[in-house]
Amino acid sequence: MLALSSDIPTWAHRLPAGRKFAALFGASLAIALARSLPVQGAILVAAVALYLSCGPAFARAGLRALRGLAVIAALIGAWHWLMGAPETAALIVLRLLSAVALANFVTMTTRLEEITALVDRALAALRTPAVLRRRLALAIALTIRFVPVLSDKATRLTEAWRARSPRRASFRIVLPMAIMAIDDAEQVAEALRARGGV
């Protein structure tokens, strides 16, 4: 659900990565603590306004990356609604959409090199050994890189299922998705070993 860094230049790309992640931390804290529907709604509106402030092309790309999340949020909300907790359902949906939308905005406007450099500096301040810092920074970079790739593969797998069967894919794509993820992980590991990586 998190997109890769966007090639569309925006004002947010010029902001330091540290400030963006500090703001994201503060916003995530506010999202977690706020129990008011109007406050949660205002946070989501502010998140959408951030996307729109970067232009229509950027906004379309960013919000398109959140389509899968919207489905998941709707399912979670429907479950809580059926359990007789409509306010809780609304809070959970708003929190989920706001938190991931803001995180997606930060990853779209921050290059991967900036993120790994920020992680390295933060760990260095904690006096973490250089080897461990490098491994953690690489792990975070790979995680961020893999999320949109796996999301895209899941979409294509679902479309392929729909083209061949009248039944919904549901849990049936979990095993092939797991196999694809393991295969991708093995290929990346081999590439890292070949280049003398960690």
pLDDT tens by residue, 120-168:
888 888 888 887 887 777 777 777 667 667 767 777 777 777 777 777 7
**Residue 148 · residue 123 · CB < 8 Å:** no
**Residue 19 · residue 69 · CB < 8 Å:** no
Q: Where do the structural domains in the chain lie, given as residue ranges? A: 1-110, 111-198
Its pTM surpasses 0.75: no
pLDDT in tens, 89-115: 899 889 989 998 999 899 889 887 888
